[in-house]
């Protein structure tokens, strides 16, 4: 077995993995991708297909968005809360 080649390949893979991690972390900080950000939007990437086959999912997403906006406005102290707010 050619040990220098094996060690070289393992080293190259480690360097690539670290480089990819650093690139994704940098991109996450700039808001381009959601890599390790705990505040990343949760949801499905199916979008329209999920809305067609599961119409209740669209209602849940709309309700969560409304509740988030109400919470954000309440935290900011904005007196113009939407009707039906808690």
pLDDT per position as a tens digit, 38-83: 666 665 566 666 667 766 666 666 777 888 888 877 777 656 655 5
2 and 25 inside one domain: yes
Structural domain range at position 5: 1-38
Q: Residue 12: its pLDDT value, please?
A: 97
46 and 86 inside one domain: yes
Residue 33 and residue 24 in contact, taking contact as beta carbons nearer than 8 Å: yes
Q: Tally the domains of the chain.
A: 2
Terminal CA-CA length for the chain: 70
Cα separation, 6 vs 3, in Å, equals 5
Tokens of 53: 């086959």
* The model's pTM: 0.45
Tokens of 18: 């670290």
Cα dihedral: 38, 30, 76, 81 (round 10): -80
Give Cβ neighbours of residue 37 (< 8 Å, ≥ 6 apart).
28
56 and 33 inside one domain: no
Q: Residue 19: its pLDDT value, please?
A: 96
Residue 61 and residue 46 in contact, taking contact as beta carbons nearer than 8 Å: no
86 and 46 inside one domain: yes
């Amino acid at each position: 077995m050619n040990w220098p080649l094996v060690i070289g390949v393992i080293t190259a893979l480690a360097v690539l993995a670290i480089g990819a991690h650093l690139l994704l972390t940098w991109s996450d900080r700039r808001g381009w991708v959601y890599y390790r950000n705990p505040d990343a939007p949760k949801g499905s990437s199916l979008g329209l297909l999920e809305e067609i086959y599961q119409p209740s999912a669209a209602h849940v997403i709309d309700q969560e968005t409304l509740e988030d906006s109400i919470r954000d406005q309440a935290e900011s102290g904005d007196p113009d809360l939407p009707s039906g707010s808690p």
